Amino acid sequence: MTTVPRRVQRVAAPPGYHDQKADHLSRLRKIEGQVRGVTRMVDEERYCIDVVTQISAVTRALQEVALGLLDDHARHCVLDAARSDREEAETKLDELSLAMRRLTRM
C-alpha cells in the first residue's frame, strides 16, 4: 500500500532543478510548438496516423522533461534531506516514489 507523503513546509531555497531551469524551459517551449503543430495538423485534417505519431513524440518529450525533474529532485532535494533530517528524507523519498508512479501510470 502506498502512503501519501505529508506536505513539507517549503523553504526559500531554490528548487532542485534551479541549475537546469533554462534547459527545462527551452525543452518545454519546443514542446509547446510541437503541440501547436499537432493542433494545426488536426485543423488541416492530416492523416490520423501522422497526427498520432506527432502526439507520441510530444508525449515522449514531456516524459523526458519529467524524468529530468525527477533526477534533479533525487540529486538535490532527496540528497539534501538525507544529509540533514531523516524524517524529511523519508518524506522526500515518498514524494519521489509517488511521482514516479504517476509518471509511469498508463
User: What DSSP assignment string belongs to the chain?
Assistant: -PPPPPPPPPPSSPPTTGGGHHHHHHHHHHHHHHHHHHHHHHHTT--HHHHHHHHHHHHHHHHHHHHHHHHHIIIIIIHHHHHH-HHHHHHHHHHHHHHHHHHH--
| CATH number attached to the domain at 19-104 | 1.20.58.1000
For residue 19, the model assigns a pLDDT of 83
For residue 105, the model assigns a pLDDT of 85
The pTM of the whole model exceeds 0.85: no
For residue 49, the model assigns a pLDDT of 98
**pLDDT, tens digit (0-9, with 9 covering 90-100), for 18-52:** 888 999 999 999 999 999 999 999 999 999 999 99
pLDDT band at 17, cuts 50/70/90? Answer: confident
> What residue spans define the domains of the chain?
19-104
- The residue ranking higher by pLDDT, 17 or 23, is 23
